[in-house]
Structure 1
């Protein structure tokens, strides 16, 4: 081990306090000591931070012993989180103090090495001291580094930097924030003749070489990668009750109980939730079980003071559990964590590894994690996720390709900071950043021109920040450029949350979503940070609250886009589905395979097996990336729904669903509703649409889908949102002006005004547009489209998928079902974040779809066909039942014709003879066919189809004559289908002696009209059947009614016996927990106050005493109050 390169005092401290160096330290120190760029990739807790810092500290110690250290910054440490920056600054004090003690023990002077934090939270006094006397080590964030590079004092301080350390580089590289940082690193390098050494710290990524190139801009970099194959204790926690498409409250209670048990079994537990709402909800229920002081929440909408207090309490052992979102995913120092619980799939392999890595945080310790699936699809995904971790798989990192909005901001900042720049030199400098290495000079010039010209809006000229001397190729800042760049910097989009301000302290305690603030009223009580607050007033951008003093709170909501599942995890999900399908296809049991290959416990394997077995029975296959399934069914209102089963992840499915929605809109002139989740897409159509299922696979093709998708997304909410974000990041719509933050409504108006100038077609009335919208060649418009296509969606993945479909590399199938398959239930019940249109949740057509049936293989297999009794009933209702001559004539007109066979055994012959005598009908003999009874009104159509047919007697045709034989056939088939119910094309062709091809072509025409649907409805034939749409909707309705009829109500005696047992009146339990359960069952029931303690509660609790109720109320779980009916004014009493 090359410790000899370090000063003896440094070696002494290292050996005394930490012992032997870790593998990553031993490999990294020689590389760093040689001055080369280095990327250190290793799991959490492996000593990466000290590996990066110690060489710089040793250099400062040696220099300090030779001479007085000058007041200049030598080391710059960049962390993606402010809290992480504070941690690093605190953790730096230990080695600095320890080395100083070793120096003193050797009788040597102790150089004063100063390390300070510079973030947005740094007080003004500390910033001034840094300007006057720069510290040797500066710890900062990417946003604060940008500000330092833009200010004159910051540029002077950073010009002496010799080493820059970028921590958690993987957390920013795949976002615009990473592109922003990459440009800042190149600006930093330009401040000195000797560019600083770059050291990156990262969890192991794929490909790690791409992360190294991002760090250095493609310059030579040594990668120290110790791998990610660390031992972990991972497992699934499945509730005793079966999971469903939506988690029931009763099942949530089981999850809370299990979480509370795990927390009690461990010293400290970190619980991750995927949303802030779930985070708050879980924290509340755990606090009810474990106590208010034992649990709290931690997420980005809480005030910094609350988050820091939660971190301090967890580290100090005051908290037993902390419920967090991704705000604690990175390596903030929160002390020893014994267990990590993850609620729901984190949607990526790397997120799970990062979060579980928060436990066992230290060299040689074992991380321990438990996953809690929340739905059936979540169970499948979590199983696949554990399999991917077991196999050592990683998500692939995707670095954005030179975002132009970020480039515009950094150009303004650099020109303002340098006060003058040459265009060519600036281009070379900024394209040295890895995300911009392929940026064409023409596009760079477009951005420069945009920043020089600005925009003319109804509020005047905006966004002109540069003077451009095109003759000499020089750039100079306008007067406002530096201030705008300093006050509007960064690449984190503004979500327009409202500050929550506690009165009378005027203390900011967090933020809530703008929509939640709009929908709230004074007096409402909500929870934030496990604390209840009562709203006093809602003002612009602020919600004023007071302590709710124990009043039961609601949980606020935050709106946003859900993160998409990684492509690698989607492939793991597909492999699991394919594996189960293969086992079932070969006649094997899937449960033992899941237990053996994926290590599932029997209870989890049993639930997952039952789910997929029933899904396979309904769809004929378990859909995977190699076999896609399109299912069609009707809701109770008669509307049609399509569900495309495609487990490619929501980014690709969102693109596919949006493009399909656009294609359906153009084909049927109908704005349908659609939603996309990780494994499926739902398209909700109206009652008049009809088409072959197999046709849908050909609606899009790889060569044109991008153009279709671009036109589709222009009307989607994602475009307007990302346009505003990009306009703000690109400084076209400043978020602050004159030192004050601009209200959300004004920022929206400014963004819309800007869009109307650069892209008027996007806001134009659709009725006035002729054809597709023409996309302007504007940098911010181009960037917004690129963000929608590649960030929110995966257009390239969709193009590859469609190309594989066209080459026949993917198997496809379609199923017409009476009820939705189990795999369709989750997308049918999708939340608003999955919607691909702007329809309100309460107006979704999917609300009419009945779901939630029990998993039964026989029922699922039968769902692809209708009960024979249902079909018989519909046929009987559709078939004519004449009672006299005139009604038989009506039947002949409505049905097109009746065959002599169909009339056998009925009283119709005498009535038909009367119609013949009156020359209102005739018998038509078709060669090779049957004898047909035809009314004079329909005779023209029959003669058009079979001109050689013999009439007995010969009568004149009345009514309109079809233009062609094909039109005549279509009209006759239309009438026959209205009377027959499900029928094959051969059955329709036989009485007419028509070629099957002609009948099939006519049926296709009727299908295109939306009149008829094809499928397999009776199950008694392998042939395709055709059914008139209205009759099929009736069959669906009767099938649902039949299922409901099978659920018989219990007798009154059984119900009363259940009520006595439910309320504990038969075997009265004891204790305060039993009392809580009894009160919960009676929640909201009004009764006289005295009756509660005299009659109701003693009848239910064996040892009831008044103090038990007092104890229960004092816990804060329940409150009782008197409800008074509102007074009615005297003159309004009549109402």
Structure 2
């Protein structure tokens, strides 16, 4: 299965592979007690390291204890660190965390973080669901996984969170669970299985399969006939999917107090809650389908958080659209009453005066003169708040609410009034809110700060980047941002893989009429391709395809001036063998992979390519002697190296190229590579005197100075490194998605690059959307690439033919384009006709 779309499932031939269990069916097996204990211990230990601000110690412990690599340990530490920041503690078998937050529909989600495994969590979820049902007379949706259980509450459910642990006791939990099981899909399925085994409901009838729907109806009829004699069946049901009556958690939590219960009301769900919020159907404890789950109304952050101040420029049209959508538009006196109830006080609106007069006559509204030149309309229910905010206000007529109002302090009343006005406004400044409410600017500033602390409001420069600071309701800002991204994504219609290949030929300056010129052209091509390793013998051919009338001297000048450098970035496989053992294999050939880079970008490119790996050091011998001389004296000419190491020039050449193939050294000029390739060609064609003379010239001596490749970390911030890599990939391809990176050698995980791309989209520097058809996953593009894609799509195909080396980055046959892949060898070539490989290319593969 490659991709699931609305109404379409795209699949490919499994090539004889055995079938797997469909992910949307079946009941998941629960985690064992022993594994749950290990998970709890892991959380506790990592949490202790994080509490001491020793994240590095936590990573080292994970790598040593669990045998995982650096990337996995870093992900675990960051994940648990984000959960610890949000909840204050990490859930373990000694600490149960109850987290509550609001969803987009105004309801609440209650997540119990319990790493006891799904058997116990299912029981807790079912029992608590039944308790809430009895208390509020309302059926709740519930779900449970190995790490948490979830209850979806409605807007009418209000209760102190610390009361939840008292809902279950060891004396009542078994009876509650028995009642809960009767309406659970777990019981219905097992009741039917028991009837099948007892032959009370037949699976086969008359030699044909009894339809499942008929079996369900027959089992329901039999259930109604024998109810309530169900004890035996419940004994068969409970030990399998759930395990709560005999589990010590209830006793130790509620009665003995050995398990600490921590309650948290959060502004948004913690990262630990994301798993259960997006749980698969096998986690559901009720029969509501996936599309009707209230948990789907919860908006969770994608990837790493992006603060509101980091959001890109919002679309003015989106802001105006949201303002129009939330602008109150009452149609009668009752709807005007609802508006006034929300905003507490409102400046008079002439179009609504007749309805307001009707409310006054019905003793439902009054006029408050809060200043000599300012009247506010308000309903009698909000009169106490107006009197607290404006003690000197003259209120007429003297209508009062028949119900005694609850006492309210001034700050709470101001926050409630500002909150109501923000509900009907888009981004607004403190001055705007002060004018709308009649409050002093200082009171408004305190109120919005209070609303910001509760997560209701965000501050930022939303209308104009250089404008005054504004505040906006959280839900309205999310809607504005959604409209902004939706408009940007609608501007580009996805192109086919063929048109995308035509775009890449132009983006990388290979198509006719798009080539670069001169030395600056060579520099711009290197900037685009830096970090991509090609066969050493293919580089000048690749540059020749992209630069008009390419001259090798241009590349030499850039290298000798210090603008461009070259070398092997990846770590050579099997490089730890001793030099004498494989002398011929250690000397680079035309196929040796090397990369070019802008010199100042080389440190982060090395870090992104090698990660924590380092090139293998050679054993005792000439290569070790040359490396020791370079480490002691810095950059040296080949003649100086021969003198210092007391080696023959030929030995120095071999040692240097062994170090090149290991990724340890580079030279000032690219002529060294050029001369080396000519030298090795001469060695193979010994019967040609001219080539023998060319081969006798020392490649190392024509290279200029030789120096070590310093692989020092460019940054300690993984996010910064991922963003640098994302920018490079965007520069190289214009559009970035996972399948496109099949030939890249970077070791930074795709997930970190994806998070960086999401942050860049949130800032408005790149576009996200669907740019190329036929590829799953998220896609991102530079704004100028979007324009270029649009232009290519509109351009008619003319039989344009372009031939590139198979080692060229644009050899994407079998990756972007359908069909077999062409081996990336410098001797092969790929010919594109209007973006599609021709038949000769396919035959070559």
Give TM-score, length-normalised by structure 2. 0.44
**Larger relative CO (CA 8 A, sep 6+): 1 or 2?**
2
